[in-house]
Structure 1
Amino acid sequence: MRILQIVPSISLVYGGPSQMVRSLSKALADRGVDLTVVTTDSNGDSGQPPLDVPLDRPVPQDGYQVRYFRCSPFRRYKFSPKLLGWLWQNAGEFDLAHIHALFSPLSTATATVARTRQLPYILRPLGTLDPADLRKKKRLKQVYVKLLEGANIAGAAALHFTSEREAEISERFGAETRDLVIPLGVESPEPVADVGDYLNQLQVKGDETEPLILFLSRVEPKKGLELLIPALEKIWDGGGRFRFVLAGANPQDPDYDRQIRERIARSPLAGQTTLTGFVTGKAKTALLQVADLFVLPSYYENFGIAVAEAMVAGTAVAISNGVHIWPQVEQAGGGWVSNCEIDEIATMIQTALGDRDELRRRGALARDYALEHYSWGAIAEQMIGAYEDILRYRQRQ
């Protein structure tokens, strides 16, 4: 089985979607799938240089191959005419394409090429069919669907959703679709022995005896920081004491990133808040390991990979019901869930911080659930089964 994964970029500056394609591809390759990732060399949308990678040739990585193409002419939209030309010539060499993203010029064009060349394809929307997301640039998206994306959705072999809630609320624009609900996976990190060294490097502020609240995600409007910061201020003004680490950045929207930093600088939380920027590797593991509570009050998340990463690290989570794995968090007993309201978020966090033993208990339950349900091995097996079902169905047509 020869599988093609198509994604606008796998640079880690783009966060979870890029990391997901890398991890899924490795897990599939480990199970014998002949897999190629095609993507661009895009590495950020605000003047960053492109990825320093060979172009238009196979690059071995973790048991699979990556083929990068120059991102041009508009780097912000991660488009590549050469990638499209390569796909047109080579579509017949693959059994199935798995395309990650909608309403992106590259994913739209590659789906159109795949359909024209009769290469079956799966579309993963990444939350773009959520009504909350569709309200952004609503009129433009309506035209885009009518002219381009509607036919791609209708022609897909399946839509890949990562939670039952995402599948339930997503718009199909009148198309009858086959839906796959397969979650994302996470790796269980190796414990970091010298946690204190990493906290010192990150210059984490505050009294070490106080609980540490961690926000570790992209800094963008949908993440609910304008709810979280006032909620934390409310707790602080009421006498609650804690440390707060905001670990994240947004190279695609540096203005918003700067607004959040300025907002915190003016806040009574400033002396207890550490802004680390984007963190990876052992520094990220150390933060998850030492955190007492992970918070993510997003307005909408089709899955919430950062929540699953916190859970597998054994950290209790406090999230909004806009994060679509909130039913699984409740089922696991791995944290707390609230509506997207400042007062409710404040009450949720204050309740969580009020009992350190309960925090540890829920963190352990979160880890047990994540290890069972979000391992990449189990998810790769589900994905292989889905690929095989699609191909068998097409053979009967």
Structure 2
Amino acid sequence: MSFSIVFTFVGYYLPGYKSGGPVRTIANMVEHLGDDFDFRIVTRDRDALDTEPYPDVKIDSWNTVGKAQVFYASQETLGLCGVARLLRETPHDVLYLNSFFSFGFTALPLLARRLGLAPKKPCVIAPRGEFSAGALALKAWKKKAYLRLTRAVGISSGLAWQASSQHEVDDIRYAIGNTANNIFIAPNLPSPLQNELQITSENNAIADDSYLRIIFLSRVSPKKNLDFALKVLGQVTVPVVFDIYGVIDDNAYWDKCSQLINTLPEQIKVFYHGVVNHKDVHELLSGYDLFFLPTHGENYGHAIYETLAAGVPPLISDQTPWRDLDEKGAGFVRRLADFDEFVSVINAYAYKTDDERTFFQKSAHDYALQVASGSEVLEQNRKLFQLAACGE
């Protein structure tokens, strides 16, 4: 039986985990659709910020990883000639790119096609929330210049686009213009739920003078808005332990956050724990009362889904697809302009009874179960590649 070959370029992939969402996005897609499509993935030979390659993979060669074939490219291979050679020598029906602003993993493949160095097969590009207003506002002048350059060179025309929601469809059209006339809505596929929710007295940690336990689990970068979270905690009146997990990919930004940490009142305890392996995330999350991510923009937010799956209500901005948490009783969504609302949610949650906490925990987990069991999203992703392979 012949399967359509989806040739995927993504900056990081398994066994990497430090870069966050994109790794989970592609890994989940392969797990769900790997029996329907032949996924061949080109990625870096090392994890985010690592200086050495993975020790247990074949570099500049194909490796079987789950249901996919993965090419771990050395730094020497990731130039225009090397990328063009991979495109020529790897048979494929669809080219799948997982960023717009990635030079090595999007611009170079598109440029190779534009220059006639590689075949022009149907191409789907997933900007992964990069065109949201909050994301575009970060390093705005560089992104505007890059957008103008891609239009001038003509590498962004004739593409199909993947959006996670109607909001992202609007963002893509605003950023790209009239050339973005072929957009598919195919939300990210969630990780399978493997654990039943276990609620014990340890989940309801706050009582009398004990601390409310809050976790930030994401990259430490301006887009994720950790500094906003720290400013909110500076106005909170209840005792809080705030644990930060995630790779620091902007040292200047972390210095700014560190200065804010040093100004926090005595009842706010902040700890940075580094990066957590994805296999340990569920158990880690289950020990917290709230998840706090006032992000400037997410096209999905895998950490939000995994937080719900662990039965922990998220407190997030309205710049993600998870905008119905309040009506589901599963968490709290607030506008970034409403700073005091974030403060109020944390103060109020500290004094909720065990029964009230249990309601939120069960509602969060039930919502994750609903998302995980939905067949519509799976079919949308399947059709994304079926229609793209047919040139529709």
TM class by shorter-chain length? 0.7 to 0.9
Give the Å deviation of 1:192: 10
Query: Equivalents in 1 of 2:46, 2:177: separation in Å?
Result: 30
Aligned mate of 1:190, from 166, 189, 195: 195
User: Offset of 1:209 from its aligned partner?
Assistant: 4.8
Tell me the amino acid that sits aligned with residue 372 of structure 1: Q
TM-score of the superposed pair, with normalisation by structure 2: 0.84
Unmatched runs of 5 consecutive residues or more in structure 1: 74-78
Q: For the Cα contact (< 8 Å) 1:249–1:257, is it kept in 2?
A: no
Alignment pair present for 1:132 and 2:161: no
Separation in 1, partners of 2:327, 2:388: 31
1:213 touches 1:294 (CA, 8 Å); kept in 2? yes
Q: Which of the residues 246, 250, 253 maps onto 1:256?
A: 253
Q: Find 2:12's aligned residue among 9, 12, 29.
A: 9
Paired-residue identity, %: 23
**Cα gap change, 1:62 to 1:367, in 2 (>3 Å):** same
Q: 2:97 aligns with which of 90, 96, 99?
A: 99
Checking the alignment, whether the CA contact within 8 Å between 1:87 and 1:110 is kept in structure 2 is no
Residues 161, 181 of structure 1: 8 Å contact kept = yes
CA distance in 1, matches of 2:309, 2:158: 36
The residue number in structure 1 matching 2:217 is 216
Task: Tell me how large the CA RMSD over aligned residues is.
Answer: 3.2
Equivalent position of 2:332 in the other structure? 336
Instruction: Point out the structure with the larger helix share.
Output: 1
Matched, 1:295 2:292: yes
SS of match in other structure, 1:267 = coil
Indicate the residue corresponding to 1:88 in structure 2. Answer: 87
SS at match of 2:178: coil
1:148 corresponds to 2:153: no
User: Contact 1:192 / 1:282 at 8 angstroms: preserved in 2?
Assistant: no
CA distance 1:153–1:366, shift in 2 (3 Å): farther
- Residue 257 of structure 1, CA deviation: 2.7
Mapped contact 2:239–2:267 kept (Cα < 8 A)? no
Question: Does the aligned pair in 1 maintain the 2:164–2:187 contact within 8 Å?
Answer: yes
Give 3-state SS (helix, strand or coil) of 2:365's partner. Answer: helix
Using a 3 Å threshold, how does the CA distance of structure 1 residues 331 and 111 change in structure 2: closer, same or farther? farther
Counterpart CA distance in 2 for 1:283 and 1:94 is: 35
In the superposition, relative to structure 1, how do residues 259 and 189 fare at CA in structure 2: closer, same or farther (>3 Å)? farther
Range with greater deviation from structure 2 (182-191 or 20-29): 182-191
The amino acid across from 2:366 in the alignment is D
User: Judging changes above 3 Å, is the alpha-carbon distance between structure 1 residues 214 and 309 closer, same or farther for their aligned structure 2 residues?
Assistant: same
Query: Would you say 1:315 and 2:317 are equivalent positions?
Result: no
| Structure 1 counterpart SS, 2:26 | helix
Amino acid at match of 1:13: K
In structure 2, C-alpha distance between the alignment counterparts of 1:257 and 1:186, rounded to whole Å: 30
Question: Is there any run of 5+ residues in structure 2 with no aligned partner, and where?
Answer: none
Quick one: which amino acid aligns to residue 391 of structure 1? A
1:63 matched to 2:67? The reply is yes
Deviations 1:132-187 (A, max 9, x none): 3333443433332233257343211x211223322233322332422222222133
Deviation (angstroms), 1:345: 1.1
Map residues 1-397 of structure 1 onto 2, 5 A cutoff.
1-10=4-13, 11-29=16-34, 31-45=35-49, 48-52=51-55, 53-72=57-76, 79-81=78-80, 83-90=82-89, 93-106=91-104, 107-114=106-113, 116=116, 117-148=119-150, 151-156=154-159, 158-170=160-172, 171-184=175-188, 185-190=190-195, 209-236=210-237, 240-250=238-248, 252-268=249-265, 272-281=269-278, 283-322=280-319, 324-340=320-336, 341-356=338-353, 357-374=355-372, 379-394=377-392
User: Given the two structures, how large is their TM-score scaled by the length of structure 1?
Assistant: 0.83
